[in-house]
Amino acid sequence: MSLDFYTAATPNGWKISIMIEELLEAGVDLPEFQLHSIDLSKGGQFSKEFTDICPNQKIPAMVHDGKALMESCAILQYLGETFPTALFPQGQDRWQVIQWLYWQAANIGPIFGNKLSYTRYIADATDDQKKHPIQRFGTEALRLVAVLDRQLEFHDYVCGDDFTIADISIWCWIRSWKWAKVDITGKPRVLEWVKRVRARPGVERGISFGVPKEEIDQFSEERKAQYRKSGASIASNNRLPSDL
């Protein structure tokens, strides 16, 4: 049995390292696995080897016994189903989790990702050109945070009393609210949930993938500059080839 993950120190990448650590915390006897770091700033995602595994040329991806899988939420669901724990319930209850997983993939990831890119990374547009997308994605991000806030009214986690893969997928984006300049301080329930999830030992180990422990919650100026530089090249329109 072989299990290989292809990832990087980014919100979508941390979903996978957190899931691995949470499965271990839940007592799952995972098969031996390899974590492969893909250097996005050097275009590792465009290599032939990686494209054969992940046709969309974005991390994360995995290969389990010769079967390749892309898309972070599909990988979370696959791992949740393959190694059953409360992280992904079985039977009818799983639909509660699946709907929030889709919600994350269709909304939180793209909206927070775009807000972050326009706020911190995109270098091939003027400030004037960036104004409208920043306003658009910033306003929509706040609407999504309000949706999450309402969902957290009666329970500690997104789908109830148990921490699930829905929390993993959503948290990996929301926790960087300061970096993305999405002010969630008006939603104390969301802030509390951010802290509650952060306090989990599996989450702590998972988010330290690619980042020294002392910088998990506060990147050094050097690391911020490094993310800005590689973010600018990744988010550039020149990096959207239409001939794969």
Ligand X SMILES: N[C@@H](CCC(=O)N[C@@H](CS)C(=O)NCC(=O)O)C(=O)O
**Binding footprint of ligand X on the chain (CB under 6 A):** 10-12, 40, 45, 58-60, 71-73, 105, 109, 234, 239
- Omega cis (within 30) before 89: no
**Residue 55 CB, nearest approach to ligand X (Å):** 12
Residue among 71 and 204 whose Cβ is closer to ligand X: 71
> Which residue's CB is nearer to ligand X, number 70 or number 191?
70
User: Taking Cα atoms as reference points, which of 105, 150, 93, 130 lies closest to residue 12?
Assistant: 105
Minimal distance, residue 57 CB to ligand X, in Å: 6
Q: Nearest distance from residue 235's CB to ligand X, in Å?
A: 8
The strand pair at 67-70 and 34-37 is best described as unpaired
Distance of closest approach, residue 75 Cβ to ligand X, in angstroms = 8
Which residue's C-beta sits nearest to ligand X? 58
The answer to whether 168 touches 105, Cβ cutoff 8 Å, is: no
Conformational region of residue 91, where left means phi above 0, alpha means psi within -120 to 50, and beta covers everything else: left
- 30 contacts 45 by C-beta, under 8 angstroms: no
Strands, E assignment, the chain? 3-7, 34-37, 61-64, 67-70
Cα separation, 43 vs 193, whole angstroms? 35
- Which one, 193 or 227, has the nearer CB to ligand X? 227
Give whichever of 60 and 206 is closer to ligand X, judged by the CB atom. 60
Least separation in angstroms between CB 169 and ligand X: 8
d(CA 172, CA 18): 9
Judged by beta carbon, residue 199 or residue 244, the one nearer ligand X is 244
